[in-house]
Amino acid sequence: MKKKNRMRLKGQLRMYMSWPLIMAILLAAVDVWVYVIDKKAGLIMTVFILIYLGIAGGLYFYNRSLILADLIQFSAQYKGIEHTLLKELAVPYAIALKDGRILWKNDAFAALMDSPRKEKYLNKMIPELHTGIFPKADMEHVELEVTYHDRDYQAELRRVSLQGFSQKEELLQIPEEEEYFVAISLQDVT
């Protein structure tokens, strides 16, 4: 197996999994001290430390693959739950490209924009939300009040960079040439 493709534990989980092996160093130091006091006791302790290292190492490598499998399963379940929660969020929320074309919308946004014609561009539905008012820099957001179907909404538009998004992201199908998208949320203030 190539080292590049090999999954590895990181951070706190790696430290947690390594504790039994780290403690073996402490046991080895105690064993040296026991050797100084009594060589026969030091030899017996060395045998037990070797047995401990064998068991701890075996459990580490055996449990490591099980933990990685559980982590992958958890992340897959979490992604499904996260998608469901975002889709069923009560606040109308949508994601558009820099040209205003809507890529994705949650159920609340779809219900709000429900019309006989299925518009793909945000400014065709709400003219005040045109590309000229989109945020110009990452982490910048624009807030303004808009009116749609005789109701007033506080619209928040946030520019989000595409760096770090997976090419195989299932939730959003974003063209490679796009650099960012705009997240739109609407809060009814009528």
Q: What is the pLDDT of residues 99-155, one digit of tens each?
A: 888 888 888 888 887 765 666 788 888 888 888 888 877 667 888 888 888 888 899
Rounded Cα gap, residues 176 and 163, in angstroms: 11
Looking at residue 28, its amino acid is A
Nearest to 178 by CA among 83, 63, 96, 112: 96
Name the band, by pLDDT with cuts 50, 70 and 90, for residue 170: very low
Contact 135, 159 (CB under 8 A): yes
Global pTM?
0.51
How much is the pLDDT for 27?
92
Average pLDDT over residues 37-60: 92
Q: Which residues of 68-94 are buried (b: 16+ CB within 10 A; e: fewer)?
A: eeeeeeeeeeeeeeeeeeeeeeeebbb
Predicted pLDDT of residue 17:
79
Give me the chain's average pLDDT, please: 78
Instruction: Quote the pLDDT of residue 1.
Output: 42
* pLDDT above 90 as % of the chain: 17
Q: State the Cα angle at 136 between 164 and 183, rounded to 5°.
A: 55
What local confidence, expressed as pLDDT, does residue 138 receive?
63
Q: For residue 127, what are the CA distances in angstroms to 121, 142, 148?
A: 10, 15, 9
The predicted model gives 68-76 an average pLDDT of 72
Ranges 42-56, 136-150, 175-189: which has the least confidence: 175-189
Q: What angle do CA 185, 188, 190 make, to 5 degrees?
A: 150
Nearest residue to 157 via CA among 135, 172, 174 = 135
pLDDT at 52: 93
Rounded CA-CA distance 147/170 in Å is 33
- Asked if the model's pLDDT at residue 83 lies above 80, the reply is no
